[in-house]
Amino acid sequence: MAEYRLKTPLTDEDVAKLKAGDIVYLTGVIYTARDAAHKRLVDLIEKGEELPFDLKGSVIYFVGPTPPKPGEPIGSAGPTTSYRMDSYSPILIEHGQKGMIGKGKRNEAVKEACKKYKAVYFGATGGAGALLAQRIKKAEVIAYPELGPEAIRRLEVEDFPVVVVNDCYGNDLYEQGRAQWEEK
């Protein structure tokens, strides 16, 4: 397992060097979106309409942050369970998204899209939302404010810590970990 510091937007070259289990520190812009926002993004793609941000090289964090304390850019910002985005993620990946951040397993369609279009699924530590929020330097709602915490936000992050769960080679950290323990 290796450790990388990457700047967003991600490129095919960035994604190609990552393997399941690698630790990555992301710096740059990432976007927030949960299932309601994902549905709206996919609807826009299907209608051929413009998206609220450029998907090319983008990283989407599956989070619904709490309101910020005075003087803070964002409240607690821990990952949400990713499977709710499984029906939407392959379409977004096909249209240029390179990374996703969440918690929990992904389905085969998401893993196949990661392989076919060179994308990666990162895991963030659940229960550590307050600590993760410290890595978010700026947060701005850019779409769907009526969704409240689930609105799409543009986040500026610095050394945001994630682990590669699914790489673009079909490797799955959860499966590898389970196999390792089953051998024992």
Whole-prediction pTM? 0.95
The whole-angstrom separation of Cα 68 and Cα 129 is: 12
**At 162, is the secondary structure helix, strand, or coil?**
strand
Give the active site residue among 34, 38, 98, 106: 38
CATH of segment(s) 3-183: 3.20.130.10
Q: Enumerate the domain spans of the chain.
A: 3-183
Return the pLDDT at 55.
97
For 16, residues 6+ apart whose C-beta sits below 8 A from its C-beta are: 118, 168
95 is catalytic: no
Strands (E), the chain: 3-7, 23-32, 59-61, 99-102, 120-123, 136-143, 152-166
pLDDT digits (tens, 9 = 90+) for 41-95: 999 999 999 999 999 999 999 999 999 999 999 999 999 999 999 999 999 999 9
What backbone torsions phi and psi does residue 54 show, to the nearest 5 degrees?
-80, 120
Instruction: Tell me whether strands 59-61 and 99-102 are parallel, antiparallel or unpaired.
Output: parallel
Q: What is the pLDDT of the chain when averaged over all its residues?
A: 95
Cβ distance 170 to 115 under 8 Å? yes
